[in-house]
Structure 1
C-alpha cells in the first residue's frame, strides 16, 4: 500500500505541489480573516457594552446630581425663609423651648411669637420634605436649643431632645462640611423610631454655624427608580472620593471584592469617563465632581461574552465552510490542468451514481456562480450609493444640529464637512434665530401626526422663502415646536437683523396666522461661539411669559432685566390678602392689577415673576388659614402646580382673579357664620371718624362690645392690631392730602387725627422712610 501511494505521488508530483500551494494560498487568508473578524467583533461588542454602560452611568450620575441640586435648592428656600430664620435665631430660644407648667405673664407675648415662628418653620420644613419622593426623613438639629425635629417616617413630625434621639450616626460628621456647606455620608443603616433599621444615604446641609439639616435619601427608592436600568449581571458601586461606600446594587460580588479592583486606580476618582478590564471584569466608571462620587459598573466578561457565543459559532461554521470550499475549488482547479472540465464533471456524476445509486445530479456551473456574484456585488454597491443619497438630508440635519452644540472642531473641519454634505454656507460672523410654533400644543390635540408634520413642513418652506438680504442660512428642527436658523451676517447691522426677523414673522403670520415667536441670540464672530447665540435665542423665548406671543425678542433686550427693590411687592401683597379677608373683591382685584403692572414696568424675568406669584399664593393661604378658612377646599390639593402650568402672565392673572372671587365668597360666608359683621361696623367707624380721637375702648363702647373681644377679633380678621390699623389708615390719608392739596403739614396732621404735628411727622417717617415734606417734594417732582 505504501509503495502504491509513493508511486501515485511520484507520477503526480507537480499536481501535488500545485494543489498544496493552492491550498496554502487560499486557506491562510481565510483563516487570518476569520481570526481578525472574531477579534474585531469581540472588540466592537465590548466597546458597545462599555458605551451602553457609560450612557447608563452618565444618566444615573445626572439624575443623582439633579436630585441633589433640587434638594439643595429647596433646602435653601427653607433656610432663607423669614419664619425659619426668626425661629433659628430667636433670642433665648433654649429658654422658651424648655418652658413648661404655668408661664410667667411677662413670658407670654415672647413665648407666643416663639411658638408661631416655630410653627411656620415646621410647615416650611415639612413642605421641603414633601418636595422629593426620594427623601425618606429630614432631621433639623438645633445645637443651641438641644433639639432634633424629625419629618417623615412613621411619626411624620416629632421633636426630641438630642440626648434621647434614636439616630446619632451623623453627629460626628457635622464638622466636615465642604465649601458649599454640606457633606455626604456613606450608605448607613439608620435607626428608625420603631427601633428598626433602614438603609439611607445621608446629606447634611448646614443652616448656620451650629445648626444643620440631616436629609436621609431612601436607598430602596433610588435603586428602584434609577439603578434598575442595569442588567441583573451587573454590579453597581457608588463610591466616595475617600473610597467610602455610598451605594451597592444586589450582585454576586461582595463590596470588598469590587473595591479591591479599583482602589489603586486614581482615574476612577478623577476622570469623567473611564473603562478598564481587570480580572475578567469590564469596569466602567464616571466621576461626578459635583457630588464627589464615582459611579462604577462591573460586568463579568464571561456573562458579557455569552452573547457572542452564537456569533462565534457562526464565524466558525462560515470559516470551516470556506476552508472546505477552498479545498474543493483548489483541487478541481488543479485537476483541470490534466483533464477537461467536462471529464471531471462526468467523473463526479459517475462517482455520485455509484455512491448512492441516484439519477444524474445537476452540477452547478462554478464560473456562472462567479459571474452572478460579481453582478450581485455591483448591484449591492449601487444600492448602497442610492441609500447614501437618500440619507444625505438626515446627515445634513444632524450636522447642522451639531453646530449648535459646543465642540472643538476647527473651521477647516467644518468647511470639509460642509463640502462633503453639499451645503453652501460661508463661515464668518453668524447669528442664530429660534422660531417657536406656539400653537404646537393645540395641534397635538388633533391626534393626527400628518397634520403636525404638514404644519411643520409648511413653516420650514416659508422660512426658506424669506428674504435674508442675500445672506446664507441653515434651517433645522431643534425641538418638536422649535426651528433654529443660522444666518451669516456679513456686514449686516443688528438693525438689519431685526428687519429680517420682522419680515420672517410677517410672512409666517400672513400664511399661517398668529402663533409664532422669534428669539434672536447674540451675534457671533465665528462658528465656535454659535452655541452661545443659540442658547441666547432659546432664553429670549422664555420672555413670552412677560411679553406674550407673536413677538420678536432679542436676548440683548432682556438679559439685563432685574427686579430691584421688592418692598413694593410686600406692601401690595399684604394689601391684597387684607382686602380678601375683609371681603373687598374690587379692592383685591385692583391690588392684583397693581402687582401685575409693577412686574411689567420693572420688566421682571418670568422666573422671578412666577416666584412673586408663588409668594402671593402662599401669603393668601396663610391668611385664610389664620381666620379658620378651609384651604384644602378653596385652593385644591396642589395649587402651586396649577400656577406652574400657566405659561403667560395673563393666564396667571385670570387664575388669581377667579381664585379671589372663590375665596371672598367663602370668607363672606365664614364672616356671617361667626357673626363677624362687627368688623365691618368697626371699619366704618374708623373711616368716618379718622380725624377724631379714636381709641379701642371708645369704639367698643359705641358697639356695646367688650374691648378685649374687639381687639382679638380685629387681630384675627384684619391681621393688625387696632392701633396699627388706625395708624396705617391715617398715614395713607396723609399721603393723599400731601399729594392732592397744598395744606400745611400741621393741618394735614390735624385732618388725620393728630393734634401734635411732630408726632405725625415721626410716625410718617417710620412708615415711609421720609418726612411729609420730602414725600410731597418727591411726588411733585415725579
Structure 2
C-alpha cells in the first residue's frame, strides 16, 4: 500500500492527539511523521520530514498558520495544506485559500469530511507524480534530440542547440564537459532481460552524477552520459566516481560486465561531435580488451602514451608516413626501461591502434573494412606473445593501409555522388533531415561527408539544406493556397516562429510580407 506523510500543527494537545487517532483509524495509508505547536516549530519539522500534506491551525502563538504558509510558499516544494478553523476565523481561512491552501476543516473534526479530504489529496499527489514523470520523459526526449542534433550533423546552428539545452537543464557557460559511453554484456541465459538491465544502469548512472550531468540513450543499446564541472579537476573527479562506483556496484549486484569509455574533456559545444565519437570508440576498445586496461583513469596510462597517441592522430591527418613511423618506433623504444614491459606494450599498442581507428572512421571507413579482420581479431593476433618490433610493424602496416585506402576513396569518388546526395536532400526537405541520415543513405561517415560536401559544393551541409528549404518555401508561398503552419511543416520545420525568423534572416522579409509582395 502506498503511504503518504503528514504533519499536524496546532497549539492544543487534544486536537493534535485526536487528529492522529482519527487518521490512524480512517486512513492507515497516511503516516503522521511529526507534530508542532506553532509555525516556528513546524518549519523545522517540515524541513526534516518533507511531508506531502500539513494540517494546520490558524491561531497559534509566535507564528500563526498564515505566516507559516507564507514561509512555505517561498520554498521550491510546498506541501499541500488543509486549514483547521473555528467559526470566527473565516476571513483568515479565506486568506489561506487565496494563497493556495486546498480547503478547510471546521472544529470539531468530522471524520467523514476528513477522510474525503485525504482521498482528494492522495489523488492530487498521484496526478502530480504522473505529470512529473511525463514532463521528465518529454524533457529527456528533447535533451536527446538536441544532443543528437549537435553530435550527428544538424539543421540548427550551434547557438540554438546550446540555448535549447540550457532551457532543458544543461549549463552552457563557464563549464567543461565530457562524454562517457556505457556498454554492457549480460550472460546468454539472461539476454531477454537486457532492457531491464539497461533501465537499471540508466537510473544508477543518474543517481551517481546527480546534478553534474544527464544520462541519455545511445545507439546499439549503449548509455551515454554527458557530465560537466566548473574545472577540469572537478570533472575528472566526477568521471572517476562514475566509473569506479558503476563498476563496483554492478560487480556486486549483478553478473553483467560493464565497460565505460570517456571522451577527452572539452569546453565548447561545437566539439561535442568529436567527443561523442571518441567516447564510443574508447568503450569499443575496452570491451574488446576485456577490461585489462582502464583507459584514462588507470595509473598504467602514462602521459607519454596519451601524448604520442595525439601526435600520431595529427600526423595521420597530414599523411606524413615517415614521421608516423618515427613516432611509433620512438614511443615503443621509450618503454624498454620499464618494469612489466609486456603489459605496457599491450596498453601502448591499444592506445595507438585506437587513434588509427579514430582517424579512419572520421574519413569514412574503418580498420575492419581495410584489413578484413574484426577489431577483436586484430587485437588477439597482435597481443599473442607480443614483442616491440611486432607491434611496431603492425601499427605501421595499419597506418599505411589506412592512408592508401582513404586516398583511393577520394580519387575514385563517383562523379554523380553529389548529384545523388542533392536529390536525396531535395526529396526529404519535409523530414527531420540531418547530416547523419544523409551519411547513412550513402554509407559514409558523417564527419567525412561533411568535409567532402564543403569541398565539392563550397557550402556547409547545413547552409545548403536551409537554402533549399527557403527556395521550396518561396515556391509554396507563390501558390497562395497554403497557410503558414502548413508551409512550415512542408519544409521540415516544427515551429512557424522559428521558420519565419529564419526566412527573414535569409530573404530579408517575413513570409507574410513576401507573400503580399508577390500579390502586388
TM beyond 0.5: no
Query: Which TM-score tier does this pair reach, normalised by the shorter chain?
Result: 0.3 to 0.5
Which fold has the larger relative contact order, with Cα–Cα distance below 8 Å and residues 6 or more apart in sequence? Answer: 2
In our comparison, the structure showing a higher alpha carbon Rg is 1
TM-score between the two structures when normalised by the length of structure 1: 0.23
TM-score (norm 2): 0.32
